Amino acid sequence: MAALAKRDRFDMPDSIRRFFEGDWEAPAIRVEEFKDGDTLVVKADLPGIDPDKDVDISVSDGMLHIHAEREEKTEQKDKDGYRSEFRYGSFSRDIALPAGSTGDEVAATYRDGVLEVRVPLPAVTAPKAKIPISRG
């Protein structure tokens, strides 16, 4: 019987590797971005957090920064024993804002596990009129 060779963990198919190791290529916070009139809307999927103490939102250097921390604890006590489990982590996402955007009037709401950030877009100036060139 032939001996089985030990496989390197990177030899696994991607779907199996992501199951065991996590998908490191995917952003920690999944977002949806769209334009609503003169506003950039960013929706972030953040279920199970307290937005008052677990989320920080800021704007600097033309970027919208969203940082969240999650901590979950469960305890089970019964006559046969005690079981405690916890999960925690820190997640962040940076989104490039259109040129000229500022953090002056950024508004954020949290509802049903979705954080919505609304960033007013800068006024667009009309393109300059083309100047004709005469030959002379």
Helices and strands per DSSP (H, E), number in the chain: 2, 7
Instruction: Give the closest residue to 41 by CA, choosing from 49, 50, 32.
Output: 32
Q: Does 16 or 125 have the greater pLDDT score?
A: 125
**Which residues contact residue 133 at a Cβ distance below 8 angstroms, ignoring those fewer than 6 apart?**
none
The span from the CA of 52 to the CA of 64, in Å, is: 18
Per-residue pLDDT tens over the stretch 114-130:
999 999 988 876 677 88
Global confidence as pTM: 0.64
How high does pLDDT run on average in the chain?
81
Contact assessment for residue 55 and residue 68, using Cβ atoms and an 8 Å cutoff: yes
Work out whether the CA dihedral 36, 94, 54, 91 comes out positive or negative: positive
Structure tokens at 18: 């992501």
Q: Who wins on pLDDT, 48 or 52?
A: 52
Query: For the chain, what is the radius of gyration of the CA atoms?
Result: 24
Could you tell me the domains of the chain?
A: 28-120 (2.60.40.790)
